[in-house]
Amino acid sequence: MDRLKLFPRVVMVIGVAFIIAGLVAAGAGLYIQSFVTGQLTAQNITTPDDASIPNTLVSDIPTALSMANIIQHHAADSSGGLTYAQMGRFAVESGDPAGTNSRDEALLDANGNPVPNQARNTQLTAAGLVTSLSLSAMAIGLAYGAAALGIGFVLLGFVVTGLGYALLGLVTPELANRFGLKPVAGS
């Protein structure tokens, strides 16, 4: 008889473990979402007039992605559509954003040193900003996913715990009588 009662109790313990894991996952997801949103908001970034979501504080997924897209658009305009990897380290006299990597072909400053390619530097800064904003949007999305998964685990935990309780009722006369059932095993 004791072995008959052991399995339902193990099922109930597993159900409770699912509930606890679900609460932890949901809590972690909500905390991460709150943290990332707070960090974005603290930067006090407002989307420009020409963004897909204009004149809005960057604090969530849509505004972060809108800002990332407009930064990339502006950087592409300033570089003639070239990426960071397609541009040389040094500026050239013609002002071509492609620049050069050759010191001999580079535009020189008053001290005879090669002038850095500002379009390339702009692309590097834009790439960092776009990556940061995109990762923030991704982190918020994953946090929502973790919270939803946690809620799913909590619900699954209740179902599994209920199933364990029902199984226990089938082998425990006192519990079966409480629900008007006939136990499969006697006392």
Q: What is the pLDDT of residues 57-102, one digit of tens each?
A: 999 999 999 999 999 999 999 888 899 999 999 999 998 999 999 9
**Residue 174, Cα to own-chain centre: how many angstroms?**
50
The answer to whether position 185 is within a domain reads no
The answer to whether position 55 is within a domain reads yes
Whether 186 shows a pLDDT value over 60: the answer reads no
pTM for this prediction: 0.80
The answer to whether position 98 is within a domain reads yes
Q: What is the pLDDT of residue 44?
A: 97
The answer to whether position 43 is within a domain reads yes
The answer to whether position 183 is within a domain reads no
Whether 185 shows a pLDDT value over 90: the answer reads no
Between CA 132 and CA 120 the distance in angstroms is 18
Any idea which residue has 């193990």 for tokens? Answer: 10
The answer to whether position 186 is within a domain reads no
Query: Higher-confidence residue: 95 or 149?
Result: 149
Residue numbers of the domain that contains 88: 2-178
Between CA 176 and CA 178 the distance in angstroms is 5
Q: Domain count of the chain?
A: 1
Whether 50 shows a pLDDT value over 80: the answer reads yes
User: Residue 45: helix, strand or coil by DSSP?
Assistant: coil
The answer to whether position 187 is within a domain reads no
